[in-house]
Structures are given as structure tokens and as C-alpha cells.
Structure 1
Amino acid sequence: MAKEVELEPPPEHSAKDYQDPPPAPLIDAEELIQWSFYRALIAEFIATLLFLYVTVLTVIGYKSQTDPNKPGVDECGGVGILGIAWAFGGMIFILVYCTAGISGGHINPAVTFGLFLGRKVSLIRAILYMVAQCLGAICGCGLAKAFQKAYYNRYGGGANELADGYSKGTGLGAEIIGTFVLVYTVFSATDPKRSARDSHVPVLAPLPIGFAVFMVHLATIPITGTGINPARSFGAAVIYNKEKAWDDQWIFWVGPFIGAAIAAIYHQYILRAAAIKALGSFRSSS
């Protein structure tokens, strides 16, 4: 008689094969005594400095190469808008890849604000990240000016300005939508549920984030020069310090923060239904 084999019941599987990190506390004073927190601030400062240094020099170099007042210059030469967009997107890809494991690789106050609204970072971390990013942007533009002062002043210092022929509303809308695309991509690329569900399709998070920056620049460089990063716009305006760079500075703060807020609400509370989950958890505990 054949030996009977007792089949064990299959192991129970959890309803989901991923784990959402707990929401960050609103105020986390313990961060202020941790070296890892200050290391993250340094990483954000240096990353934003490098980002502004490379991208501003790219913009200035393009304007110099296509200056119609210079003899023998090909107005169709230089890297063009496509090259400028690649510089911004490529630097974001590189720097997010380098700093993601240390600070999260924000390099943008609007991204930090969106992640704060999504309960990914505390209020203390968000505020100090923004300060570090703005200081890094100022220093990055300062280095660009120090090395090429004549070109820097002659070709606008890479400062964001609303282009002639566009209204303030158009510029604001471009900044809102452009930042929405960026921050929405950040949430999607770092979503633990997506990583678990699509584990068979490995995605390097910095790649779609950098590509989002590239695409937004292609669309909005002719309108605002593309801000979508208040630190980038603020740092360039501080060092260039000409009236036109300050005239519409509010657009490059209000627009990105509104776009980031919409992206955070859309991803966290509509696509991920965080509000419904929180309500369900509250009812269960009650």
C-alpha cells in the first residue's frame, strides 16, 4: 500500500506583500541630536550647490555661443533648449542617485514640501532641508559667477524671468503644472506598493525623476526659463541681483508649492486612498 502523504495547508499570505513606512511625526526633536540628520543637511546643501553650478554654467554657455552681437557666432549653435533640459534632468538624475540613501535626494524645496504633506518627513527636517537647499543654490550660483563673472553678468546669470509676451497667470500655471509633474513622479517612483507590485520590472527611482525634470524643461523654458524649484530660482536671483530677476520671484515660489501640494494630495489621498485607510484603522481600533 502506498504511503500516504499528508499535505500541509499552504501558508497564509498577507493581504499585501509590502510594508508602508510609518508616517513621519509632525515634530521630531530627536532628529536634532542625530549626526545622520546633519549629514543629510550637508548632502542637500552640496547637491543643490552642484546642481546650480553645472546648470547655470550650461545656460550661460549656451547664451554666449549664440550671442548675435559676437562676430562669427552661429545663432543655431550651442546646446540649445534640448541641451539645457538635458543638463537639468541629467544633474537631477546624478544627484538624486548619489544622495537618495543619505537625505532622500530632494534638492528642491517644492519636493520637500510635497513629501512633508505626504507625511514622509517631519516639519523640522522639511524646514532645515529648505534652508540648506537655498544656501546651496546661492553658493552654487556664487561659484559660477566667481569663475565667469563677465559672462555671468552679461548673460543673465541663469536667473528665471517671465518671458516677454506671457502673462503672470500663464507663468504661474506653467510652474504649477511643471512642479506637479515632478512631485507626482517622485511619489510614484518611491512608492513601496509600486515597488512590490512591479518587482519584476526594476526601476531606478532617480531615472524617472530626472526624466520628468527634462520633459518639464522642454515645455516651460520658453515661458519662465523653468523654475519648478524655488531654491534654484532664489539662488540665481540673489547672486544676479537685478531688478527683473526679482520682479516675478513670487511665481517661482507660489507655483511650485501649489503644484507640490496638489501632487501630494492626488497621490496620497486619491490614488493611495490614505484618508480612507486612516479612517478604517480608526474604526477598527475603536
Structure 2
Amino acid sequence: MYGTPSGGIQQEEKAEFGSAIAGGMTSRGSDMTGRTPMEVELRDTRFHQALLGEWFGTTAFVFFLVLSIMTADGDPVRIGLVAGLSFFCLVYMLASVSAAHFNPAVTFGMWASRRITGLRAACYVLFQLLGAMTGAALAQSVSRSMFRGVNGGVNALASGVSTGSAFWIELLGTLFLVMAVLAASDSELGAQWPYRRVLIPMEVGFTIFLAHVVLIPFTGCSINPARSFGTAVVGHYWRQHWVWWVAPFVGALTASLLYSVVFFANEAPKEEFSVEEGRREEGKSGVGRMFSRTRGEQGNRVGTDRSGVGGMSTSSG
């Protein structure tokens, strides 16, 4: 899942522009075409396919989730299973098309980690919101009375849960999800342990399942602004709606910084250092080595295809 399968378009941009590509963020080289990287992306049919993939995937996820809320009598395990299994299936189905974000918080975290372009992030969020509204409307069309009986499946604070508590647990839930996504979409880890690629849909599905089982009794479990927005639009319920946007985005940003600064550094074994490097590194802490040694390596790595799901997909969106 997750990330953007932009390896193909990035390779094309490298060939066309001779440009330096950083996680989908490109800069023009000495090309003679006069076209900017944004124009290349906009003209690529796979980019438009990716947008439709995000719309379709978010539609399906919200549709199945709301139907489960309508029929589960508040059972968090049943709702969590539907959420996790639907993501599991959708990742297998659409990871090679759009990398299967289906969540503005995930898209924001990937953009903050410089794995996708700002243009792709903005367009993904727009189509995710449209998909969430479509999914909620389809669920309403199945049974309006049952839909109204659960207020459209909107997120709401449980009795005794304060706004501050809801904000905190939604932030932590989203942080946990985006951390899982960033690890899953790290192609360097995928290259070191190729078997991880097969397990990516399962990893994400279990993460979604766990988050829903734990958070539903408190907030109904958002960790996805599109899911909250779509049900709020169709269900006409906007109370504390800002929580379902701000908390996930803060959680996604925190996860991006945490993974990029703390867990992304991958130091070589000490015996691989030269004597001169060993002298330079002597006395430095792990964080000091990370910033002094790996900054250039990180810059090089983001120039490679790190936006696919653990290397799961290599075609462009």
C-alpha cells in the first residue's frame, strides 16, 4: 500500500530532464523541452488513473464501513474487521494504480516525508474527499432509515470523552497508522527484506483493524479526515468536526518527522568505515552520526523510488 508508485514517472523525468528527484519533488535539469515536472505529471495518463483509483478506493472503503456501522449494533470488533479487511483487499487491488492511500492524513504524511509531490498530494486529497462522499451516499441509498439510525456513521464523542481526550487519541491512532505506512513504503527496507512486500496489505489491514477496535468506543475512530468528512456531509452532523481533521494531520506530521529523523537513518556497520571516517565519527552520538554521515545518503535515497509500497509497485500514477 501507500506511497505513490511513481518510480516509472520518476525514471522518465530523469531521462527527460536529467533532473534530481526527491520523493516525487523534482527540479528541472538542462532539458530542451521547456516542460516543468508538474506538466510532465499532469500529462501522464497514469497520474489521472491514480486519481480515479483514490476516488474508487475511498468510495469502497467508506461504503463498506458505513454499512457495517449500520448493521453491527456498535460492535467495534465487527466494524474493525470490515475496515481492516476492506483495506486489505483494496491495497491488493489498487496499490499498483495509486498506491492506495485513501486517507488525506496518509497523503499528508507522505508529502511531508517528500515521497510525493505537492501536486499529487493536493489532487489525492480532493479525490479522496469526493470518494468519501460518494461512499456515504451509496450507503444511504441502501436504507435511509438504518442510515439515519446511526447518524450516517459520523464520528462523535462518546459519553464522558472530552474534546481534548478525543484529539489526543485520534492523534496517536493516526501516528501509529502513518508510521506503519512509512515503514511499509520504504523501498530500502523492501530491498533488504523482499518478503516484506507480500505482507504489506496484511500489515496495513491489521493496523486499521487494531485502531478501529480500540478507538471506536471513544470517537468512532476517524484517523481519516475523508471518512469523517464524507459521512458528515451526507449525515449532516458537524459537531467537533475540526478534531477529525486537525488531530490526524498533526499525527501524520509527527509520524513523518519521527520516522525521517529517528528511524530512517540506516548506518553502515562500523567495520565498513575507513580509518579516517572512524576518526571523524569517534565521540559522536548516534544522532550526531546520522546528521553528519547520512544526510547525503538520505538525499540520494529520496532520489530513488521510495514512494512505492516497499517496492511493491513501480509503475507511475
TM range (shorter): 0.7 to 0.9
The alignment yields a C-alpha RMSD, in angstroms, of 1.9
TM-score, normalising length from structure 2?
Answer: 0.73
Question: How far apart are 1:204 and its partner, in Å?
Answer: 2.1
Structure 2: stretches of 5+ with no match in the other structure: 1-20, 27-36, 267-289, 300-317
Residue in 2 that maps onto 1:10: none
TM-score, normalising length from structure 1?
Answer: 0.81
Question: How far apart are 1:164 and its partner, in Å?
Answer: 1.4
Residue in 1 that maps onto 2:72: 62
Question: How far apart are 1:91 and its partner, in Å?
Answer: 0.7
Describe the superposition over 1:212-254 as per-residue Cα deviations: whole angstroms up to 9, x where unpaired. Answer: 010111111011000000000000000000xxx3111110000
Residue in 1 that maps onto 2:259: 267
Residue in 1 that maps onto 2:307: none
Residue 102 of structure 1 aligns to a residue in which SS? helix
Residue 229 of structure 2 aligns to a residue in which SS? helix
Residue in 1 that maps onto 2:40: 30
Larger radius of gyration: 1
1:249 and 2:241 are equivalent in the alignment:
yes
Residue 40 of structure 1 aligns to which amino acid in structure 2?
A: A
CA distance in structure 2 between the partners assigned to 1:148 and 1:281 by the alignment: 51
Matched pairs, number? 244
Residue 28 of structure 1 aligns to a residue in which SS? helix
Residue 192 of structure 2 aligns to which amino acid in structure 1?
A: R
Structure 1: stretches of 5+ with no match in the other structure: 1-20, 67-79
Residue in 2 that maps onto 1:52: 62
Residue 38 of structure 1 aligns to which amino acid in structure 2?
A: H
Q: How does 1:200-279 map to 2 (within 5 A)?
A: 203-241=198-236, 245-273=237-265, 276=291, 277-278=294-295
- Kindly indicate whether the alpha-carbon contact (under 8 Å) linking 1:60 and 1:156 is maintained by their aligned counterparts in 2: no
C-alpha distance 159-100 of structure 1, shift in aligned 2 (>3 A):
same
Residue in 2 that maps onto 1:71: none
Describe the superposition over 1:153-207 as per-residue Cα deviations: whole angstroms up to 9, x where unpaired. Answer: 1221111011110111100011100001111001111212222222366642111
Bigger relative contact order (CA 8 A; separation at least 6): 2
Residue in 2 that maps onto 1:89: 84
CA distance in structure 2 between the partners assigned to 1:91 and 1:269 by the alignment: 32
Residue in 1 that maps onto 2:33: none
Q: Percent identity, aligned pairs only? A: 35
Residue in 2 that maps onto 1:139: 134
